[in-house]
Amino acid sequence: MIDLFSGLDAWVLVSLLLALAFVLAFEFINGFHDTANAVATVIYTKAMPPHLAVFFSGVFNFLGVLLGGVGVAYAIVHLLPVELLINVNTGHGLAMVFSLLAAAITWNLGTWYFGIPASSSHTLIGSILGVGLANALINDIPLADGVNWQKAIDIGASLVFSPMAGFLIAALVLIGLKWWRPLSKMHKTPEQRRKIDDKKHPPFWNRLVLVISAMAVSFVHGSNDGQKGIGLIMLVLIGIVPSQFVLDLSSTTYQIERTRDATLHLSQFYQRNSESLGEFLALGKSVEGDLPEKFRCNPQQTEPTIDALLSTLKGVADYHSLPSESRIEVRRYLLCLDDTAKKVGKLPGLAAREKDDLNKLRKDLTGTTEYAPFWVILAVALALGLGTMVGWKRVVLTIGEKIGKQGMTYAQGMSAQITTACMIGMANIFSLPVSTTHVLSSGVAGTMVANKSGLQGGTVRNILLAWVLTLPATVALSAGLFWLASKALGS
């Protein structure tokens, strides 16, 4: 790893280390900010002592990051338009990274201090959107092109739908438990259990389910939220030291050949569908030039881009053999070809089978650009895992006692945690970032309604207010910081 940073100017190296520290600080804060939600029910119900709960939650968060892949990481990265991603420049990368991280950390710390279960996912996404919009304004780009709005809509839908589904499903699970075992001790609160049964802990089976489901929430939280830190670090590395990280330098000859073959097959795909795609791609008519012209992806430059990529990769068996500028060009070509292929897949007239083939080609195209070195994954896993072990008390009290007018029962804790673990696990499968905070909080609220415990208006209002304000606040904050940084750098 150390050799990757050798030869860097001192100011670039210091900036890089500072940027990495910012990302890991964000993940550390994320650990004690969001992971408190993962252990809130198990601590409140006294299923586990706090020190054990946070320790094992930290371990399972760590494992979740290690085993979670990078699908969610690049879903976050691709909120930025492809034009911003291909314009790799050290100063530009520094301004972008520090702006969005400073905004995200500030909001996270503020909501944590007041014990409000705000979402780190919302915070990060708002910060990224702010940078994209500010970049559009600074460079006279239409706001419609300043952000990858389709990806933003997909992620926004998952963030809106998941709390609603969490509320409903957790309520239904609790209703099912009350119907199945109406007289069970699992329907007691910890306080009732202590007063009536003179017992401190939940019944054995309830306790076991609470512990297992809490660790499951911790694992899926790590595999979802941890990837956001991975995506941020890759933005940092590509933006500040592009020559070393624009491509996966550990790619095997086979992986490089797959990329080359996918490019060739993509060309054949377009020729096969030239009747419906010829005008959109200007097949046979495109003009040679800067590819893509002025750091913008133009579908009508697809043919020369394919030719340039095939020419650059001809005979290449190891990315190390490519000069630094050629690596940057290869990534630029690949990202633009993938962006155009994504647009082509949405055009009318293509058969479903052809669209499936196109999606498979896109995966092969991006196989050596959408990656993360193991040391990046390990660093994020450690930061998130260690962050889990501090700062949990404020949010635990909010989740356990301040959402409902009565304390949480064991059945409510189980219902909320099982629902949260399943929903975030499903989101991981589809590479969608969701909020552990919002899913669990809404799940608890759903069980309070189903249990006829009532909701505390003040707490629910604060949670909803944080939910509503997080995006506009972080968008405005990161956009302002990026504008100031860009002006300072003379962008």
Tell whether the model's pLDDT for residue 474 goes beyond 50: yes
What is the model's pLDDT at position 7?
A: 65
Contact 82, 336 (CB under 8 A): yes
DSSP annotation of 197: H
Residue 34, pLDDT > 80, answer: no
Pick 490 or 481 by higher pLDDT.
Answer: 481
Residue 312 has pLDDT above 90, yes or no: yes
Which of the pair, 81 or 130, is modelled with greater confidence? Answer: 130
Structure tokens at 210: 């609470």
Q: Distance between CA 79 and CA 124 in Å, rounded?
A: 11
The pLDDT mean for the chain works out to 83
Task: Please give the residue that has the higher pLDDT: either 35 or 258.
Answer: 258
pLDDT tens digits, residue range 248-278? 999 999 999 999 999 999 999 999 888 888 8
Instruction: Give residue 66's pLDDT band: very low, low, confident or very high (50, 70, 90).
Output: very high
In this predicted model, what pLDDT tens digit does every residue of 333-356 receive, in sequence order?
Answer: 999 899 899 889 888 878 888 889
The candidate with the shortest Cα–Cα distance to 402, out of 411, 393, 414, is 393
- Nearest CA to 395 out of 197, 179, 111 is that of 111
**pTM: predicted TM-score of the whole model, two decimal places:** 0.84
The Cα 322–Cα 303 span in angstroms is: 22
Compute the distance between CA of residue 163 and CA of residue 439 in angstroms, rounded to an integer. 5
pLDDT (tens digit per residue) in 159-180 = 788 888 999 999 999 999 999 9
Q: What percent of the chain has pLDDT over 70?
A: 85
Which H helix or E strand runs over 94? Answer: helix 90-113
Specify the pLDDT at position 368: 92
Q: Which pLDDT band, with edges at 50, 70 and 90, does 150 fall under?
A: confident
pLDDT digits (tens, 9 = 90+) for 73-99: 888 888 877 767 766 566 666 788 788
Cα–Cα distances in Å, from 390 out to 35, 91, 112, 270, 381? 10, 35, 12, 54, 15
CA–CA separation, 136 vs 143, rounded Å?
6
Helix (H) / strand (E) element for 209: namely helix 204-240
pLDDT computed for residue 316 by the predictor: 93
Distance between CA atoms of residues 221 and 416, nearest Å: 14
Structure tokens at 10: 């001192």
Task: Give yes or no for residue 403 having a pLDDT over 50.
Answer: no
Reduced to 3 states (helix: H, G, I; strand: E, B; else coil), residue 31 is helix
For residue 400, name the pLDDT band (cuts at 50, 70, 90). very low
Environment class of 295 (CB within 10 Å of its CB; exposed 0-12, middle 13-18, buried 19+): middle
> Rounded CA gap, 18 and 7, in Å?
18
Write down the residue that tokens 């003040």 correspond to: 458
* Beta carbons of 219 and 60 less than 8 angstroms apart: yes
CB 273 within 8 A of CB 281: no
DSSP-assigned letter for residue 455? B
Please compute the mean of the pLDDT values over residues 457-469 and round it to a whole number. 68
Residues 352-361 have pLDDT tens digits of: 888 899 999 9
| pLDDT digits 0-9 by tens, 404-458 | 445 678 898 899 999 999 999 998 888 888 888 778 888 888 888 888 766 666 6
- Give the pLDDT of residue 194: 82
Please answer whether residues 431 and 73 qualify as being in contact, where contact means their C-beta atoms are separated by less than 8 angstroms: no
* pLDDT computed for residue 372 by the predictor: 93
Phi-psi category of 69—alpha, beta or left, where left has phi over 0 and alpha has psi -120 to 50? Answer: left
Q: Name the nearest CA neighbour of 81 among 150, 5, 158, 179.
A: 150
Least confident of 8-22, 75-89, 464-478: 75-89
Peptide bond preceding 203 in cis form (omega within 30 of 0): no
Q: What is the pLDDT of residues 280-295, one digit of tens each?
A: 888 877 555 555 555 5
If you count them, how many residues does the chain have?
491
| CA atoms lying within 13 Å on the CB side of residue 256 | 22
Q: Find the distance separating the first CA and the last CA of the chain, reported in whole Å.
A: 31
pLDDT band (50, 70, 90) for residue 198 = confident
Indicate whether 296 pLDDT > 80: no
DSSP for residue 398: I
| pLDDT(468) > 80 | no
Model confidence at 4, pLDDT cuts 50, 70, 90, reads low
Per-residue pLDDT at 455: 63
Q: Which residues of 238-266 are buried (b: 16+ CB within 10 A; e: fewer)?
A: bbbbbbbbbbbbebeeebbebbbebbebb
CA-CA distance, 449 to 123, in Å (whole number)?
28
How would residue 1 be classed by pLDDT, with cut points 50, 70 and 90? Answer: low
Token pair, residue 56, equals: 């094992």
Q: Is 119 exposed, middle or buried (0-12, 13-18, 19+ CB in 10 A)?
A: buried
- 237 CB-near residues (< 8 Å, 6+ apart): 16, 244, 245, 376
Q: Are 27 and 190 in contact (CB under 8 A)?
A: no
Residue 461 has pLDDT above 50, yes or no: yes
* pLDDT band of 402, cuts 50, 70, 90: very low
Nearest to 260 by CA among 303, 299, 314: 314
CB 95 within 8 A of CB 491: yes
Widest pairwise Cα distance in the chain: 83
Phi and psi torsions of 7, nearest 5°: 85, 0
Task: Specify the pLDDT at position 476.
Answer: 92
